[in-house]
């Protein structure tokens, strides 16, 4: 081959490679907004599939009907608490605004125990006391901070609406996947087989399924249970904006942070407005809710992979930083899945080296 042919073939190969890379990048840009909802839809489908099979059995094996009913029920389970939480926040904001405009907004003074809060006790007590004495003067004094908080709340509300839409899309995707679970499983086996070997393809596919179900049950399931019981307690005690506090409990529980971090502040408020006996009962209830993961996690995680909690913590926090609230859910499972697959790959390499 002369230099002219070599140059021609090199240029042609470079042009083809460049066009392929351009097409791949373009395709990625098109689908990138849907990556997180699709991944979350896959996670939901894998986690919920055993229950879907029971529903399908009750419906006489009608796959399409079962998938339709599952999708509608799941959407209802998403929309109903969302509406309740939204109404809680809206109602509380409305009451505060009306009372402030009428000059009847009354903030109870803080108890001395607030001073004992770690790190922020003294400043929190001082600010709370100022607000209880003259709320208008306090808002004027901290007008810059108040505006920043207002902007953050508005941005959070807009982001929450987008997150709900992503959840709805993910649920619809999961409904399609559970209706075509056999085909999806076969495609996944082929994918892992192409990356590894014929024998390892099914092993890695089953490992992926078991890890997703384990973490979904042991982390997301436990966090949801804690958030639900926290919400019930706050509703009984008539805590203002209980929906917002419930969301915060869910976030910290998924991030593997004790919910008492949030419920402790709520309990402090309850002590300042309620009688001692119900306040003490509520505090004990909050401690039980916060510590319930000690026996719930072994129960749920025992059914699948025992992924180290630091991996899930990093996944949850990193996912939230990358993709917001929905990333909190997806990140914990994706990083746990990556960890389990990586460890399985290391073990397989060790076995192969001994043979």
Q: How do residues 255-294 score in pLDDT, each as one tens digit?
A: 778 898 889 888 888 887 778 888 889 999 999 999 888 7
| pTM for this entry | 0.70
Given a cut of 90, is residue 15 above it in pLDDT?
A: no
8 Å CB contact between 318 and 331: yes
How much of the chain, in percent, has pLDDT values that exceed 70? Answer: 79
Residue boundaries of the structural domains of the chain? 34-350
Q: Does residue 13 or residue 19 have the better pLDDT?
A: 19
- What mean pLDDT comes out for the span 219-245? 86
pLDDT in tens, 67-119: 999 999 988 888 777 777 777 766 766 776 766 666 666 676 776 666 666 66
Q: In this model, does residue 22 exceed pLDDT 90?
A: yes
Q: What is the pLDDT, as a whole number, of residue 302?
A: 53
Task: Please tell me the least confidently modeled range out of 205-209, 263-267, 326-330.
Answer: 326-330
Report the pLDDT value the prediction gives residue 324, as an integer from 0 to 100: 75
Q: What is the pLDDT, as a whole number, of residue 213? A: 83
Least confident of 27-31, 207-211, 289-293, 303-307: 303-307
pLDDT score of 30 more than 60: yes
Average pLDDT, the chain: 80
């Amino acid at each position: 081959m002369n230099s002219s042919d070599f140059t021609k073939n090199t240029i042609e190969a470079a042009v083809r490679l460049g066009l392929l890379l351009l097409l791949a990048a373009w395709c990625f840009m098109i689908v990138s907004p849907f990556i997180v909802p699709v991944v979350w839809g896959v996670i939901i489908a894998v986690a919920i599939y055993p229950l879907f099979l029971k529903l399908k059995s009750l419906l006489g094996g009608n796959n399409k009907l079962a998938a339709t009913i599952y999708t509608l029920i799941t959407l209802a389970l998403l929309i109903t608490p969302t509406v309740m939480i939204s109404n809680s926040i809206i109602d509380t904001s409305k009451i505060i605004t009306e009372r402030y405009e009428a000059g009847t907004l009354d903030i109870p003074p803080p108890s001395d125990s607030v001073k004992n809060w770690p790190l922020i006790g003294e400043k929190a007590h001082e600010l709370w006391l100022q607000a209880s004495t003259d709320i208008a003067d306090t808002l004027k004094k901290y007008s810059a901070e108040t505006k920043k908080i207002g902007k953050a709340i508005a941005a959070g509300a807009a982001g929450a609406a987008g997150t709900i839409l992503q959840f709805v899309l993910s649920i619809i995707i999961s409904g399609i996947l559970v209706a075509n679970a056999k085909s999806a499983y076969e495609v996944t086996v082929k994918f892992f087989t192409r990356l590894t070997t014929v024998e390892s393809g099914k092993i890695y596919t089953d490992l992926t399924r078991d890890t997703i179900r384990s973490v979904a049950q042991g982390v997301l399931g436990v966090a949801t249970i804690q958030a639900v019981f926290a919400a019930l307690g706050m509703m009984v005690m008539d805590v203002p904006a209980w929906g917002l506090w419930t969301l915060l409990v869910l976030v910290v529980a998924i991030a593997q942070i004790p919910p008492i971090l949030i419920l402790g502040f709520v309990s402090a408020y309850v002590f300042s407005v309620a009688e001692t006996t119900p306040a003490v009962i509520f505090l004990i209830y909050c401690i039980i809710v916060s510590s319930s993961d000690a026996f719930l996690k072994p129960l749920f995680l025992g059914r699948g992979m025992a992924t180290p909690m630091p991996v899930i913590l990093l996944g949850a926090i990193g996912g939230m930083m990358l993709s917001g609230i929905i990333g909190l859910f997806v990140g914990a499972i994706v990083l746990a899945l990556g960890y389990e697959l990586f460890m399985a790959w290391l073990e397989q390499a060790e076995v192969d080296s001994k043979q």
